[in-house]
A and B are shown apart, each in its own frame.
Chain A
Amino acid sequence: MAVLEKLRKRGAGPAGTRDRCVADLVAALGAERVHNDGAARLLASTDASIFEGGVAGPVCFPDSTAQVQACVRIASAHHRPVVARGAGSGLTGAAAPLGEPVVVATTRMNRILEVDGANRVAWVQPGVINLDLSNHLSPMGLHFAPDPSSQPVCTIGGNVANNSGGPHCLALGVTSAHVLAIEVVLSDGRVVMLGGLDAEPSGYDLRGAFVGGEGMLGIATRVAVRLTPNPAAVRTLLLSFSDVESAAATVGAIIAAGLVPAALEMMDQQCVEAVEDFCHAGYPRDAAAVLLVEVDGMPGGVEAQAAKVEEIGRGHGAGIRVAADEQERQLLWKGRKSAFGAIARIKPDYYLHDTVVPRGRLVEVLQRIYEIVDRHGLLVLNVFHAGDGNLHPIIAYDSREEGMSEKVREAGREIISVSMEVGGVLSGEHGIGVEKRDFMPLMFSNTDLDHQARLKSAFDPVCMMNPGKVLPSPHSCADISELSRASGDVWG
């Protein structure tokens, strides 16, 4: 809530232009769709991350492409930036508005427009919730493959902006592989169609470039998503190990054996204990690490894969539990999915990290993470997508303790450095946003960042879409220090 203190200290800013912008928005959308009150603006100033520097301007709730277009045009006419907001479940501050922008909330654009089973494609508005879509499709035996942990709340528009992943992206790929076409409103208010429903749309792959653009390239107003048939059979196994090394080696051996499990998740002992205290899924408390392995496909192949996983596991000294039925499978997954809850009940705050390292370096990186948090006297739990090396160390803490937040951030910085040292990347699925913007030079040279800025400028030459994210100074087209000195008071 530092944001609020900051806001209250500030003056009212250039009220005249702000009011005219709001008046124009109200005229175009109607008063019911433009919320310029302190409550709406305060709540649109943050996402689910611990980042606190955002200050929202008027919050708009369009329900059509034309209304989004109107928002963008009016903002542009008043030289105000625009930030799109879905469920606000992002973890990097990517939707935290910098520079008091017009906020375009997509939550009322929540219609599934068309489901075309023959072509296995659905057109949806960006505010459709990921899990709602898959639930809607389930009678047809289809689903939308990306399944981030925020699946019950995150929106398809947010998935597109973040190129979201999830446990089942190991076999099926992240959002980019599941989006065929996107209707986008650009910063000049123009509506463009990127990609297409045919096999190989011509031209540069602007669709692919847009996915993962973190709202900085334009606002998606309609998305054509690829639908994936539900697997005929599925098998879930819980492998427990007496040391982390064997668990990590098993991950490598499973992949090297030519298996592509549907999901391959790992939890360390601290996490297992927390989960067991919380939900009693029957995980072995004494295990140094457990792997949750899911294989799917046709029944024969599933048998073969499960047998192979068991064999590899035993070879690495694993204790093995195979879910006998759907009920037991749900119980095993409940353990995995309850991890955040379990952690949240240990301490009031947590900082969830997201880096990817080569699978072969998992053990080493985990050890170094333990060292880092020990040095800072912090508590860490590891629950992550081991199959693709996507680490999610979670530091549990109490921000009310003096100096704690800074300590947690410092540990986070060190974890990022370690991941980069071993040839990893900054983010596997959360994105960069504000959180990792200033770490981008660890992964990319000035030249690389300059080329990323070129991509941005091709979509948004006037730099009004979600300024101040992803690209650090001096590669950002926005003046980041100016943006961070936000102007205005949400209660003004």
Chain B
Amino acid sequence: MDLGLDRDELDKCVQCALCLPHCPTFRVTGEDARSPRGRIGLMRAVQYHDAPLSDQVVESFDTCVQCRGCEPACPSGVRFGRLIEQTRETLVGAGHRPPAKLRFALAALDHHRALLAGSTALAVAQRAHLVPSGLGLPESLPLRRPTLEPSGGDVHLFTGCVMDAWQRDVHLAAKQVLEAMGVGVAPTGAAAPCCGALHQHAGMADKFRGMAAATVAAFDDDQPILVDSAGCGAAMKEYGNLLGTPAAAAFSARVFDIDEWIALRVDDLPHATPLEISVAVQDPCHLRHVQKVHESVRTVLRPFVRELVELDDDGLCCGAGGAFSIVQPELAGLIRDRKTESIVRADADLVASANPGCSLHLQQAGHEVAHPIQLVARALSGVGT
């Protein structure tokens, strides 16, 4: 079956295996079929040699977290993210649809108001113990969301979908820090309800393109668009390539991760007494492997905490992977166990993660996690530890 993969891209892999240790699913299973090299081997088998699309082959593709940790490790420069996205897109087109619970969840994401209302309803239900624990939801959904008012028009703060519903406090912290730098902030809210990254991962490419186009159209000025979710930022920086229009390219060029943007202006940050805590920095994959701006988290955070501690797992994925932890809970748990071991070895007071998915996933394992921008905000407010 033709997976629609670019032949040059597919042929680039020389099977050297250097990607294997950087693949979270290979790390926890030891199976070739759970590695980038193995997945490419199966893509070739299907596309070139008409190998059957057996359950195990589909599962091999489905179990990719899409962390892209294999890409920096690849000497041949294989863009594995593109291969697996295309593969999933083709499979979805051929009727291999994502699991029902994922489709149901994704369908809600670009309906901002409904999502917020639904989340509140879920929070109520959760407190009444009506929500099963295996859904990958945060243990305590917020019942109430503080309001997020605009304070100017210097930058847009992209608020997104789930994050706005569940982690609006991160947006508030981002806004607070930006304002402390003298920057007026315009939260996007319902104007740009969802970036589509999760749809893209699930192989729902048409949906993703639609959401990308809508998002691009929602910003008709030239102001920078700051994103405090690494996964959303990575997707929005891809719009230019994806849509191929000058407008989309211009849009992507003004998308910045919030840490990336602040790191370039770190001198504008006011001084504050550092928090008396040591912080382990967890690099979200889409910040480190895709946007490659993970160092900026350290630049921004370093003046505001007592100590930064590096994890010793070479940036291996935590297993959150957008919706991965919902559709592959068992693998996601095993991958998180590895991350947990590394966090325990780091022996810090707190984990900083610049991605909401990672935060939720790690919090569910009992880690205390904050967005780096929240720590900066906390230090600026002089709230101590």
Contact = CB atoms under 8 A, between A and B. Distances in A.
In the complex, A touching B (Cβ < 8 A): yes
B42 A42 contact: yes
Contact of B30 (A61, A135, A153, A345): A61
Contact of A4 (B14, B51, B74, B312): B51
Contact of A107 (B12, B30, B44, B57): B30
A338 B55 CA distance: 37
A133 B76 CA distance: 26
Nearest to B17: A89
Most central of B12, B21, B60, B74 by chain A CB within 10 Å: B21
Given A43-B32, A344-B12, A87 B54 contact: no
A38 B41 contact: no
A348 to B, nearest CB: 5
A61 B44 contact: no
Nearest to A42: B45
Interface string B129-144: 0000000000000000
Interface in A120-142: 127, 129, 131-132, 135
A350 B52 CA distance: 29
A38 B54 contact: yes
Interface in A32-91: 35, 37-40, 42-44, 46-48, 61, 87-89
B18 A150 contact: yes
A285 interface: no
B30 A39 contact: no
Contacts of A150: 16-18
B77 A42 contact: no
Interface string B90-126: 0000000000000000000000000000000000000
Contacts, number: 108
B331 to A, nearest CB: 13
Nearest to A107: B30
B75 interface: yes
Contacts of B33: 35, 39-40, 43
A4 B30 contact: no
B222 interface: no
A152 B21 contact: yes
Contacts of B73: 152
B21 A1 contact: no
B56 A89 contact: no
B20 interface: yes
A325 interface: no
A414 interface: no
A374 B32 CA distance: 38
A48 B75 CA distance: 14
Most central of B12, B45, B55, B312 by chain A CB within 10 Å: B45
Interface string B21-46: 10000100111110001100110110
Interface residues of A, number: 42
A110 B30 contact: yes
Contacts of A43: 32-33, 38, 41-42
B54 A39 contact: yes
Contact of A42 (B14, B21, B41, B76): B41
A349 interface: yes
Nearest to B12: A348
A340 interface: yes
Contact of A344 (B21, B54, B60, B76): B76
A4 B57 CA distance: 15
A344 B16 CA distance: 10
A105 interface: yes
Contacts of A348: 8, 11-12, 14, 76
A38 B20 contact: no
B12 A87 contact: no
A345 B77 CA distance: 7
A129 B73 CA distance: 16
A39 B49 contact: no
Contacts of A44: 32
A38 B14 contact: no
B31 A107 contact: yes
A350 B194 CA distance: 44
A344 B30 contact: no
A152 B18 CA distance: 7
A210 to B, nearest CB: 23
List the 7 shortest-distance A-B pairs measured between CB atoms, nearest first. A107-B30, A341-B75, A344-B76, A43-B32, A89-B17, A39-B56, A37-B56
9 contacts: A35-B56, A38-B56, A42-B45, A42-B51, A87-B17, A135-B312, A150-B18, A152-B73, A338-B75
Interface of B: 8, 11-12, 14-18, 20-21, 26, 29-33, 37-38, 41-42, 44-45, 48-49, 51-52, 54-57, 60, 73-77, 312
